[in-house]
Amino acid sequence: MARTNRDYALLGRDARLAEKIGLVSAAWYHTEIPRKVMKDLMQRGDNPAIRDTIILFATMIGSAAAGIWLWPSWWSAPFWAIYGVLYASAMDSRWHECGHGTAFRTRWLNDAVYQIACFCMLRNPVVWRWSHARHHTDTIIVGHDPEIIAMRPAVVARLILNFFGLFELWGNGKAMVQLIFGYMPATTRSFVPASEQPKAFRIARIWGLIYLGTAALALWLGSILPFMVIGLPILFGSWHMVMTGYMQHLGLAENVLDHRLNSRTVYINPISRFIYWNMNYHVEHHMFPMVPYHALPRLHALIKHDLPPAHPSILSAYAEIIPALARQFRNPDWFVKRQLPPTAKPYRPEFHGDLEPGQPTPGIGGYPFSHAAE
């Protein structure tokens, strides 16, 4: 396996270099859309998200009730499977969309669903709001984006174990315990303002009490059943979030200022789109994060002439991702450079250095000034 020349640490060498060469908080490429059209796309409404939230919560309550009713029989398993995916995958997309504040027009609805989704995902609502803001400022900028899932070369065992929610549960659980005791690591403090940190501690302590209550109930019942409703679904329901999450950026370019180069749009089935809340339109979402999930198909239709062609299926996306990850074992600089249609504005080499995969490094090392900056 080749060693990577990247330093992914949030306060590391590449973080400083990226800043010096202008990759941080930079101006990104946007497809041109008339203001009137954009305004229309950005319009908020409560109805689509209220409808989806009623369906989601009703299905969660129904499947959990059936799971509890049939417990401990194996006949309860299909209901836990449904509940788990909604708890640990659909709630990921609700965390995401409500974190942006675009799901509902009414602010308290966004905030309420955001808090519920954060609790399910065991993601501190303060910390994760700020980490995601950074992900949008510096998407896949090495050393700055805290949400890079697969660092090059990828750790295969970790990528596989993610499907079972192990790192999600362990990492977020550990962070919660740290916050309960008033400790926030320096890397996290680098993107959470000091004024917001007390809120993070307070929420972690409330969650700690809820988990203590759940544990007490489990002990009293002599059963893990309460944890099947709270906490454990992360282990058996994260797979859908991971499957769709891997499609977002894996195998694509790092350290570029054009979402067409580092994000992927994939057409997926309607059930997955409900669970994922249309985040399969990922290039569109990153280019225009103010457009609500329900308007993304319309946005896609308007700008697809300027984007690499969308993958026709999940399988098609993985047919690109898996060979790219395999190739990155031999050459961590390798990435998939998706071809643009003739109707698109070309990529801008002046912003990205040499974009030819692997020749030389399309990462920070590929920028002519990076060595001087170091």
Partner 1 sequence: MPWITACSTDDIETEDLMRFDHAGRTFAIYRSPDDEFFCTDGHCTHERVHLADGLVMDYVVECPKHNGQFDYRTGEAVRAPVCVNLATFETRVEDGQVQILIP
Binding residues vs partner 1 (CB under 8 A): 25, 38-39, 42-44, 100-102, 105, 107, 129-130, 133, 136-137, 193, 195-196, 288-290
Q: For residue 134, count other CB atoms closer than 10 A to its CB.
A: 20
Q: Cα–Cα distance between 205 and 18 in angstroms, integer?
A: 36
Is residue 332 within 8 A of residue 153, CB to CB? The reply is yes
Q: Which residues pair with 265 in a beta bridge?
A: 281
**Conformation bin of residue 157: beta by default, left when phi > 0, alpha when psi is -120 to 50:** alpha
CA angle 238, 240, 246 (to 5 degrees): 100
Task: Take residue 327 and report the two structure tokens written for it.
Answer: 């190739």
Q: Three-state SS for 319?
A: helix
User: From the CB of 132, what's the least distance to partner 1, in Å?
Assistant: 9
How far apart are alpha carbons 211 and 203 in whole angstroms? 12
Tell me how far, at minimum, the Cβ of 318 lies from partner 1, in Å. Answer: 30
Take residue 44 and report the two structure tokens written for it: 């908020």
DSSP state of 332: T
How crowded is residue 210: how many other Cβ atoms within 10 Å of its Cβ? 12
DSSP class per residue in 12-80: SHHHHHHHHTT-TTPPPP-----HHHHHHHH---SHHHHHHHHHHHHHHHHHHHHHHHHTTSGGGHHHH
Residues linked to residue 311 through DSSP beta bridges, in sequence order:
266
Q: Distance between CA 227 and CA 143 in Å, rounded?
A: 36
The CB-of-18 to partner 1 minimum distance in angstroms stands at 15
39 versus 371: smaller Cβ distance to partner 1: 39
